[in-house]
Structure 1
């Protein structure tokens, strides 16, 4: 690696030397890296290993506590994201940086809105937005659509499109495909190849090792804030990379052979909402993991929200257990009282109180258990949180640490801990392992096995078909807002599930309608 007193090297676009970062404890320690123009560098590691912190230092969002950086051999220390972007260093963050009340066009060109006589030139803005949207495969959308009305996958593509505007010398992508469909992933990879050919350096952060092997030249593995690998990616197998990330070989196998399926815990009858979910009926049994597959816009998340009372249904009823009267699900509060928990796909916006501690976030769904005469027992609250921190391997300094200071994957574990603490018999999971590393994913799978073994019913939405096929007893497939088919483990195949997921759109395409942007089942 390049010594700090000799920064110049013609082949290196960006050089990091001895980069460190401390908060209450060290997060990064002595990181040395070199990145060449036109190179795709894969950056991976477990949640909390320091990947996002390192990328934020490179992009001016966080100051390093130690070390130096050089851009084209010259000292580089951006004081802000804006300063880094002016030098061509851009970042698409895992947490989206969009304003939901503004339109796609306004979000794309927020800092450079075309004007005429002091007014926004809407015609010019729309035209420029359409060009940029076509780059990432969003050409079918109206540029005046408010971003808040888009699904997370489409929002991610808008964020990527925004960062491809103007000069870009180094692009940092933090878990860019976590919310994307196969079609969108292919468009992104195609764009990465073009950027590479244009001499743009890419830092690609992901836990999806198959993606990294496909697009990257080099791989850097961080573990506990230290660099443990910086080599040609072809030199290591997936198993070796996992071992370097976790410090031990981690398997994600789930034993489904001895699961006992009991009586229905949840009966959904004709539940629907106009424009989102066609009347749906199914049973979720005790001890069962029922997956929900489908394309983006197929109604998977919307179905879970109806069951949880987050959206009001136009039709249908939900029964809990052997009850003969429908459950009162007019709000999430009523759903929780009925014994239903939900881990949402948007942990930051809907799942956590980010400024509050791990302890508070863990006990939030059942404060009565840690209260005495209406007064919170903080010792009991901390004790409960410590149990889940250990069980779920939540990387943190202490249970009093703010949830917003944790990595994305560890934040997701805190949300799951809250509902485990509440101990609801029916648990709804919307993309539960999105943005979670391989080791943590194995922990979640084992947890699912434990919960089903306890007789709980799990309803799991996932965009990872392999995940659903690995953990589920049955998979219901949604297409165009309707449950079109349900497969048992002995009957499903990837091809049959995919065919079912697209089936609801075939008639539309034959009638000349545009192909919907899809989310991989």
Structure 2
């Protein structure tokens, strides 16, 4: 946008006010069977970015939802600018100057960008109706200030996940809040978009805003945060200046142990071709995509957001059937016209968006875990489901993946994002797949859980499973893959062996 203000980072970081802008003390919150927070404390200074760190289930999101008025604490006190406050709803929090950008986006897909940003605050004309011209104009002014180039009149459902994330950020900033909570704000952003977000954050910090930043990405912590606090198992562990600790120090505080090997890639026998893709295309989205995956091989699929990686995965699984090319499984050409066909041929698919295309949020963990196998392995000759065996296997898989839950009857929406992801992994592992497609398998997952999933993926490769792994995290792609296929604008621009794949070579192919 030509009217955009150029936002440069300030030459130095400094705290505008020494006293806490927001102070939490003695907060306790319980859910049925779970103590989510146990007498925790937290303090945010004005003009600082304070990162909140911890494994999934550590209590970070619960505390933030208490500060944002979503949950009411059982015990404890919240003080804002030195004064006690009681926050009984998100509207309460917004009225007190506290806004939150949730990890799971909460936009209305059939409304426009402008309508989503200013919902309940739309400008009205003299007849009391929404003034759409004024609505568009004030959205353009806000976007210009934040250097966001998105059409205010576009419907949310037409935008990429990354663009929706920027709309959420703009919506929160539009409230002009003193406290801004960002929960995994960069999970769907490219490096360029992350840099853009950081410029916005630095601008807000210079205006004296206090920003609580939740992330599992260590490099972001050291780049943007002034302080960080660590939570573990619902308890407060420590607060430190980001300049005083190392990455290993943080990990040890988070998990209570050392993660010695984040990417436990093992050398395993590579067998025959299991999945072969020749000149695959989806009209208007991608074309001429070709690659093979062998038994025991992990093929990483890299590329910038919007390159077509997830579309290829959905086509392979029959969600959006191909319009050209062919898919062969163990040498046999297969018309993968729907997911049931893919599953019949031993394929499993962990989708990118666990909220919209993965979890059945109102159902329990047991039901979510069973979903993919009810018409397969656990149905006897008479057509009845072998419920007892299925329940035992689902529980065993949940325990293997260390899903933090009081029991399998817990509603999945009550779990943290990372634990929801583990349930979805368990769902597909129960199908005993020979081909496993993983789209962003560790998005929004803490460092300890990432190591567990990486180890599990390596074990599956060792058992002869052919794995296609899509990831936006370069260390994950390079650390886990035997080969890396790179996409740009709907085409494969190159396939690199593990020995020749590097951040430079991958990014070169991703930007061609």
TM > 0.5 between the two? yes
Which residue matches 2:148? 138
Which residue matches 1:364? 371
Question: How big is the shift at 1:94?
Answer: 0.4
Which residue matches 1:512? none
Is residue 201 of structure 2 the alignment partner of residue 192 of structure 1?
Answer: yes
Is residue 338 of structure 2 the alignment partner of residue 331 of structure 1?
Answer: yes
**Residue pair 2:117, 2:170 contacting (<8 A) in 1 also:** yes
Once residues 404 and 309 of structure 2 are traced to their aligned partners in structure 1, the CA distance between those partners, rounded to angstroms, is: 31
Which residues in structure 2 correspond to 1:152-301 (within 5 Å)? 152-256=161-265, 258-301=267-310
Once residues 332 and 106 of structure 1 are traced to their aligned partners in structure 2, the CA distance between those partners, rounded to angstroms, is: 35
2:135 to 98, 101, 125: 125
Question: How big is the shift at 1:472?
Answer: 0.2
Distance 1:35 1:415, change over 3 A: same
Once residues 146 and 475 of structure 2 are traced to their aligned partners in structure 1, the CA distance between those partners, rounded to angstroms, is: 25
Once residues 111 and 442 of structure 2 are traced to their aligned partners in structure 1, the CA distance between those partners, rounded to angstroms, is: 29
Is residue 14 of structure 2 the alignment partner of residue 11 of structure 1?
Answer: no
SS in 2 for 1:33: strand
**Residue pair 1:133, 1:158 contacting (<8 A) in 2 also:** no
Distance 1:485 1:155, change over 3 A: same
What TM-score comes out, normalization by structure 1 length? Answer: 0.91
Which residue matches 2:470? 461
Once residues 103 and 333 of structure 1 are traced to their aligned partners in structure 2, the CA distance between those partners, rounded to angstroms, is: 35
Structure 2 residues without counterparts, runs of 5 or longer: 1-16
Is residue 63 of structure 2 the alignment partner of residue 61 of structure 1?
Answer: no
Segments ≥4 residues shifted beyond 6 Å = none
Structure 1 residues without counterparts, runs of 5 or longer: 1-8, 504-521
Once residues 85 and 241 of structure 2 are traced to their aligned partners in structure 1, the CA distance between those partners, rounded to angstroms, is: 26
Is residue 98 of structure 2 the alignment partner of residue 95 of structure 1?
Answer: no
Which residue matches 2:406? 397
Greater CA drift, 121-130 or 99-108: 121-130
Cα deviation digits, residues 456-505 of structure 1 (max 9, x gap): 111111111111000001111111111011111112221121111111xx
Which residue matches 1:509? none
Once residues 458 and 265 of structure 1 are traced to their aligned partners in structure 2, the CA distance between those partners, rounded to angstroms, is: 10
Which residue matches 2:394? 385
Question: How big is the shift at 1:346?
Answer: 0.5
SS in 2 for 1:369: coil
Once residues 68 and 291 of structure 1 are traced to their aligned partners in structure 2, the CA distance between those partners, rounded to angstroms, is: 47
What TM-score comes out, normalization by structure 2 length? Answer: 0.93
Once residues 313 and 142 of structure 2 are traced to their aligned partners in structure 1, the CA distance between those partners, rounded to angstroms, is: 33
SS in 2 for 1:120: coil
Distance 1:36 1:253, change over 3 A: closer
SS in 2 for 1:478: strand
**Residue pair 2:321, 2:337 contacting (<8 A) in 1 also:** yes
Which residue matches 2:9? none
SS in 2 for 1:433: coil
Greater CA drift, 256-265 or 119-128: 119-128
Cα deviation digits, residues 202-247 of structure 1 (max 9, x gap): 1111111221122112111000000111122222211111111111
Cα deviation digits, residues 17-76 of structure 1 (max 9, x gap): 100100122110011222221121110100000000000000100110111111122221
Once residues 128 and 331 of structure 1 are traced to their aligned partners in structure 2, the CA distance between those partners, rounded to angstroms, is: 44
**Residue pair 1:288, 1:452 contacting (<8 A) in 2 also:** yes
Question: How big is the shift at 1:375?
Answer: 4.2
Once residues 78 and 494 of structure 1 are traced to their aligned partners in structure 2, the CA distance between those partners, rounded to angstroms, is: 46
Is residue 501 of structure 2 the alignment partner of residue 492 of structure 1?
Answer: yes
Is residue 29 of structure 2 the alignment partner of residue 21 of structure 1?
Answer: yes
Question: How big is the shift at 1:113?
Answer: 2.1
Cα deviation digits, residues 261-299 of structure 1 (max 9, x gap): 111111111111122111211111111110111112111
Once residues 501 and 335 of structure 1 are traced to their aligned partners in structure 2, the CA distance between those partners, rounded to angstroms, is: 28
Once residues 209 and 293 of structure 1 are traced to their aligned partners in structure 2, the CA distance between those partners, rounded to angstroms, is: 21
Question: How big is the shift at 1:164?
Answer: 0.5
Which residue matches 2:8? none
Which residue matches 1:40? 49
**Residue pair 2:52, 2:60 contacting (<8 A) in 1 also:** yes
Greater CA drift, 174-183 or 367-376: 367-376
Question: How big is the shift at 1:110?
Answer: 1.8
**Residue pair 1:360, 1:381 contacting (<8 A) in 2 also:** no
Which residue matches 2:4? none
Which residue matches 1:510? none
Let me know the Cα RMSD of the aligned residues.
1.6
Greater CA drift, 109-118 or 16-25: 109-118
Cα deviation digits, residues 375-431 of structure 1 (max 9, x gap): 444432321122112211111111111111110001001111111000111111111
SS in 2 for 1:380: helix
